[in-house]
Amino acid sequence: MQAAPVRATAIPSFTDALRAVESLLMSSGQRTARRNAWTSVLEDRRRAKDRVEAQQVLEQSLVGRR
C-alpha cells in the first residue's frame, strides 16, 4: 500500500484568488488606485476612532473636575 502523495505547493488563500482575478480584470493603474483608495478608507477609520477616544477622554476629564 502506498501513501497518498504530498502536495508540494500551498493551496492559495481566498485573498490570493481574488488578487489573481483582479489582475486579470484590471489594469495595473486601476489596481493601484483601488488599493490606494482602500488604504485611505482604513486610515480615515483609524483617525475617526482616535477622535472618538480623544473626545471620551476630554469628556471624562471635564466630569472629573466637577
Task: Walk along the chain (66 residues) in steps of 10 and give the mean pLDDT of each run.
Answer: 66 84 80 91 97 95 79
**At residue 56, what is the residue type?**
Q
- Scan for cell 488606485, then name that residue: 33
3-state secondary structure of 8: coil
- pTM confidence score: 0.54
